[in-house]
């Protein structure tokens, strides 16, 4: 066998091994999520209120709804501010290193304009965000008294 064939064979084996590991991880994650979902449904059917830790995304949505502007608008504003700062830094760096103001203004100014657009988007995203659903009521029915008998085994 030639050296090129050995290398191609080894690379192929490594790629297929990586794909197999990725596939097993995805199957495992799907099984875990399905078990968590079944556990949550069983709690709701028995009249128990699941803990916020069992549905972290739903819990975060609820917290965002009460906090005013959501995390998404804050992230856009942060990204815009950082991009404007990067543009100003590039403007200064290129002006002094190239010795011409027009070079620094062209490249740095483009980043400043991009950052300003992102910042503008973040400002307006915070105003237009509304909670998707009302959180005034409990999202799950809660029985007035907890069940007295233990749950039967599910076949």
pLDDT for the residue 54: 61
Q: What is the pLDDT of residues 60-93, one digit of tens each?
A: 766 666 665 456 777 888 888 888 988 898 888 8
- 72 and 129 housed in the same domain: yes
Same domain, 38 and 91: no
Nearest by Cα to 126 from 80, 93, 59, 57: 80
Count up the domains in the chain and report the number: 2
The more confidently predicted of residues 60 and 22 is 22
Establish if 60 belongs to a structural domain.
Answer: no
Distance CA 109, CA 102 (A): 10
98 contacts 66 by C-beta, under 8 angstroms: no
80 and 118 together in one domain: yes
30 and 74 within one domain: no
Together in a domain, 87 and 44: no
List Cα–Cα distances, 125 to 58, 72, 76, 120, in angstroms: 21, 8, 8, 9
- Based on the domain organization, do 34 and 85 belong to the same domain? no
Structure-token pair, residue 125 = 């995203």
Residue 48 CB burial class (10 angstroms; 0-12, 13-18, ≥19): middle
Instruction: Please tell me the predicted confidence (pLDDT) of residue 68.
Output: 55
- Looking at 16-20, 22-26, 51-55, which range is the least confident one? 51-55
Alpha helices in 2-154 (DSSP H): 3-45, 56-66, 71-98, 101-128
What pLDDT, on the 0 to 100 scale, is given for residue 28?
95
Domain range for 27 is 1-50
pLDDT tens digits for range 1-20? 788 888 889 999 999 999 99
């Amino acid at each position: 066998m030639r050296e090129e064939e050995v290398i191609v064979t080894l690379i192929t084996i490594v790629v297929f091994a990586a794909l197999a590991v990725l596939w097993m991880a995805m199957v495992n994650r799907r099984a875990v999520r399905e078990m968590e979902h079944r556990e949550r449904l069983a709690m709701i059917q028995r009249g128990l209120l699941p803990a916020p830790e069992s549905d972290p995304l739903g819990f975060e949505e609820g917290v965002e709804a009460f906090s005013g502007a959501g995390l998404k608008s804050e992230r856009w504003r942060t990204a815009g501010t950082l991009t404007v700062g990067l543009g100003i830094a590039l403007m200064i760096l290129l002006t002094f290193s190239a010795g011409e103001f027009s070079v620094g203004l062209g490249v740095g100014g483009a980043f400043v304009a991009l950052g300003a657009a992102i910042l503008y988007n973040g400002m307006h995203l915070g105003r237009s965000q509304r909670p998707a659903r009302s959180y005034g009521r409990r999202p799950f029915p809660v029985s007035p008294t907890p069940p007295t008998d233990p749950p039967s085994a599910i076949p």
